[in-house]
Amino acid sequence: MTTIETSRSQYAQIAGLVRRRIADGTYPAGAALPSEDRLADELGVSRPTVNKALVILRNTGEIKVRRGAGTVVRSLPTIFRDAKKRYAARNQGTGAGEVEVSRHALKSSTTYREIGQATPPPAVAEILGLAEGELTLLRSRILYADGEPIQIADSYIPWRVAEGIADLFKENAGRGGSYGRLADAGHPVTRFAEDVTVRMPTDDEQRTLELEPTQPVFEICHVAYSHDHPIEVCMHVMTGHLWKLHYEWDDPTHEQDA
């Protein structure tokens, strides 16, 4: 029988206990947890104490409330995002996101919220070097893994570049995604840059990504360059507890020493 010590924070002990049971498979991925009343009876504590413990695990993304199923263990593994390799492999599918999710033996799917002419946010317009009032093509989408939302991605391409590329206005732009079609049109992407910010989600992002209000997101401002000119800006908003970001680069001082 599990004993919860009265001399230590009870809700923290319960959070640790549930975490260990998740790790050892007692509560497997995707399974419903026992009710708060049942856990309270088992552990000899009050229901509010159990609730406080479960809130900790909800905030860290280890469990989530699912309509009709109660509180369940997170079903998705940590998704590894290799900033260098993901774009190099994009021609294996319809884009880097699909390849990335599929590598984890997860089913990738995408829902498009908007594809069309749009005024970009001021920060995006500045990066793209657009004149005042100049428009972009917006490809706004939600990415899923095994049916769960994991990322919002809004891509902005200068309208003067995109308007003549018919496949960019389709949900499925074909093998290689948008970058493949840009390359076909004489705008090969040769360089990338990313800025990463950690912040709290907006109300819309919270609803879309099924997050708790206290769960942070990664915001990645991804810039693609063609012939040393920015050709696309993609604003990624990603569930912070599901993603592990990996970056690697060569040491420039090694070349200098050689």
CA dist list (Å): 87 to 51, 92, 182, 183: 42, 10, 14, 14
Q: Give the C-alpha distances (Å, rounded to integers) separating 14 from 2, 40, 66, 112, 147.
A: 10, 10, 21, 41, 30
pLDDT for the residue numbered 249: 83
For residue 14, what pLDDT is reported? 96
Average pLDDT over residues 163-169: 96
Q: Are 107 and 145 in contact (CB under 8 A)?
A: yes
**What average pLDDT does this structure show over 194-206?**
97
pLDDT of residue 69: 79
Number of H helices, E strands in the chain: 10, 10
As a whole number, mean pLDDT of residues 231-254 equals 91
Q: What is the pLDDT of residue 138?
A: 98
Q: 106-117 in b/e burial notation, b at 16+ Cβ within 10 A?
A: bebebeeeebee
- HSE, CB side, 13 Å, CA atoms: give it for residue 70: 9
pLDDT band for 112, please (50, 70, 90 cuts).
very high
Residue of 31 and 90 predicted with greater confidence: 31
Q: How far is CA 112 from the centre of its chain?
A: 15
Full set of structural domains in the chain with CATH: 10-73 (1.10.10.10), 79-246 (3.40.1410.10)
In this structure, the chain runs to a length of 258
Residue 97 has pLDDT above 90, yes or no: no
**Tokens coding 44:** 């000899």
Q: Which residues have CB under 8 Å from 152's CB, separation 6+?
A: 140, 141, 142, 143, 205, 208, 209, 236, 237, 238
Q: Is the pLDDT of residue 94 over 60?
A: no
Rounded CA separation 211/65 (Å): 10
For the segment 122-146, the average pLDDT, to the nearest whole number, is 97
CB 217 within 8 A of CB 238: yes
Does pLDDT of 152 surpass 70? Answer: yes
pLDDT band at residue 257 using 50, 70 and 90 as cut-offs: low
Burial 228-241 (b: 16+ CB within 10 A, else e): eebbbbbbbbbbbb
Q: Give residue 246's pLDDT.
A: 92
Are 97 and 110 in contact by the 8 Å Cβ rule? The answer is yes
Question: What is the average pLDDT across 187-194?
Answer: 94
Mean pLDDT of the chain: 91
* Amino acid in the structure at residue 242: L
> 102-106, 138-142, 151-155, 234-238 — which is least confidently predicted?
102-106
pLDDT at 179 over 80: yes
For residue 95, is pLDDT > 70?
A: no
pLDDT at 37 over 80: yes
**Dihedral sign of CA atoms 200, 201, 202, 206 in order:** negative
Q: Are 191 and 132 in contact (CB under 8 A)?
A: no
